[in-house]
């Protein structure tokens, strides 16, 4: 089946630093999505990307859909303590719109 490789697995950064994480796949996806999971809660959609090459921002978050349609990255600028959580990438391919998830990046922000 389809698999996503998400990296890094975890990050420890200082407040104010920028963060970058990415996902790669051996398969092509039609849509890339990025979710954030706060401690004790379910994942919440942050950004959705629908076209190869698309660059989309949501506040301090920026994500890109790779030209090859096999990768995506998420950047967080000027991190703050509430950015702490697990970030998941997800790819959507085929006609059934089923998602394939990466294993997540655990982000810790030191004040």
Question: Which residues here bind other proteins, judged by CB under 8 A?
Answer: 1, 6, 9, 30-31, 33, 35, 40-45, 48, 50, 88, 90, 92, 96-99, 101-104
Q: Is the Cβ of residue 26 or residue 41 nearer to other proteins in the bound state?
A: 41
Q: Is the Cβ of residue 17 or residue 98 nearer to other proteins in the bound state?
A: 98
Nearest in space to 93 (alpha carbons), one of 36, 43, 39, 52: 52
Q: Is the Cβ of residue 45 or residue 78 nearer to other proteins in the bound state?
A: 45
Task: Please report how close the Cβ of residue 21 comes to other proteins at its closest, in angstroms.
Answer: 14
**Omega before 8 within 30 of 0, i.e. cis:** yes
- Rounded Cα distance between 95 and 93, Å, is 7
C-alpha radius of gyration, the chain, whole number = 13
């Amino acid at each position: 089946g389809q698999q996503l490789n998400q990296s890094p697995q975890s990050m420890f950064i200082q407040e104010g630093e920028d963060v970058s994480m990415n996902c790669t796949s051996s398969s092509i996806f039609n849509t890339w999505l990025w979710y954030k999971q706060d401690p004790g809660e379910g994942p919440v959609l942050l950004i959705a990307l629908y076209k190869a090459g698309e660059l989309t921002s949501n506040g301090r978050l920026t994500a890109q859909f790779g030209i090859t349609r096999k990768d995506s990255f998420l950047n967080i600028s000027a991190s703050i303590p509430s950015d702490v959580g697990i970030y998941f990438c997800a790819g959507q391919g085929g006609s059934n719109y089923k998602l394939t998830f990466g294993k997540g990046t655990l982000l810790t922000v030191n004040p």
